[in-house]
Structure 1
Amino acid sequence: MWCPSAAATGDHVNRCSGPAGSGMWCRGRGAEVILSKNKNQNHSALRVKSRDRQHSASMFQARHVPLEIVLLRPEKTEEMERAVHLLQGHATVVVDLQRLDAAQAQRFIDFLAGAVWSLDGTLERVSEQVIVAAPMSVLLSN
């Protein structure tokens, strides 16, 4: 449930009153945060649904995901789905497009850009033929 009494300011979210594990919503500046307790595990998870990428990058996430970087060298556009599945699993994907012709490479980039946008991630061009797609939990800088 949404908690109107939550004093969510700056880089932290004050706790809302309610039963543990109820999955309550708190709304902060530029982000919606849901606090929930997984019944199968003994820790709480904090998920951020961002409207402001810079603000959400500074928020603490309780769930620790090991960093994984995967290099893909696709030979056909059907391999786009693998890149998206890796992103959904919180892996950073480096894509070398040299084996695709110009039209296929553009289609691959467009498809991946849509997936990155929907997952609130980041897409950066490293060189003419290499792009990096990162999930929300990874901050890319130039």
Structure 2
Amino acid sequence: MADTFSTRVLHLTTGSTETVTDLTEACADFLADAASGRDGLLNVFVPHATAGIAVLETGAGSDDDLLAALRTLLPADDRWQHAHGTPGHGRDHVLPALVPPHATLPVIAGRLELGTWQSVCLVDTNVDNPDRKVRLSFLG
């Protein structure tokens, strides 16, 4: 059987605060349609200069810990040369260097192969742009 490629774009509204949005269920729904029980790779990509994709535990405080760590590493103040938008917005443009805009994950028998506590998440610290797209692509 020849390799197949499928893709879908998710449209999300992240709101006016820093967020970690769990995409795991959306990834599973996409794979139910796209993978058809096949092995392959899922690529998750956010085409924005101020957001990233992380694989981490959620719901037990790790998502809040990540945002707190990013506030420490990338303070929202006037130190940034990229100075348009809300105060400290320049840090949002540095975020993808620490939380990359993509993740490629294994798919086995049509299911995302994550560890017990792992989730696929959109990390968005940009309070100026709540409208986000995330591209899911399956190759298998």
Name the TM-score class by shorter chain.
under 0.3
TM-score computed with the length of structure 2 as normaliser: 0.26
Higher Rg of the two aligned structures: 1
Q: What TM-score, normalized to structure 1?
A: 0.26
Higher strand share: 2
